[in-house]
Amino acid sequence: MNQSIENPTQDDLRRDTNQMIDAMLGMIAKCVDEDATFVPIDAEANDTFAVNGAEVNLSWTLAHVIVHATASAEEAAFVAAELARGVEYRGRSRYEVPWQTVTTIAQCRGRLEESRRMRLASLDAWPHPPHLENTYALERYPGAINAIARFTMGLQHDGSHLEQIKKIVQQTAAVRN
C-alpha cells in the first residue's frame, strides 16, 4: 500500500484497496480449509469490543480476522461515500459476517473478494468533485475526518491485521507440517 501520499485520490484508494486485498489473498494462498478455523496461540488476544464477555480474550481464527478486517474497511468505505456525497455523518454503517459461519478457506477468499468489490463500488459512488470539505470528528482521532481520511482509516485498519494473519498462517503451517 502506498502510504507516502499526502493527498490520495480515488484512483490511489482503488490501487491501495487492490494491493491490500491482494496482499491478504497472497498470505492465505497456501492455506487449507482447516486453517480457517484453527485457533492460534495469541498471548495478546484482547477484544475490548467483544459483544460476549467470554470472547474478550479469545484468540481469533483466520476466518475471524478476515471477517473483522473486511467489515471495518467496508464501514470506512461506505461512511466515506456518504461524506463524499455531502451527507452529514449519521453514525456507524457496519455489518460483520458472523465469523463462526466462515469455516473454509474458500469462504475467506470469497469474503475478501466480496469486500474488494464493495469497497471499489463505494468509490464509484463518489461525485465529481467529492465534498471533501464535509467532515466529522471521532474522539480517538485528532482533527476533522473527510471522505479520503475515512476510507484510508479502513485501509490502515486492514494493515493493522496483516501481522496477525501472518502469525496465524505460520502456526497453521507448523501444525500441518
DSSP assigned state of 95 = -
**162, 25 in Cβ contact below 8 A?**
no
pLDDT tens digit sequence for 63-78: 999 999 999 999 999 9
Q: Residues 87-146: pLDDT tens digits?
A: 999 989 999 999 999 999 999 999 999 999 999 999 999 999 999 999 999 888 888 999
* 8 Å CB contact between 139 and 125: no
What pTM value is reported for the model?
0.90
Among the listed residues 22, 20, 64, 23, the one whose alpha carbon sits nearest the alpha carbon of residue 166: 23
Q: How far apart are CA 30 and CA 51, in angstroms?
A: 32
Q: What proportion of the chain, given as a percentage, has pLDDT over 90?
A: 80
Q: Is the dihedral of CA 133, 137, 138, 139 positive or negative?
A: positive
Concatenated DSSP letters of 132-148: TT--EEETTEEEEE-HH
User: Which pLDDT value is given to residue 51?
Assistant: 61
The residue type at 4: S
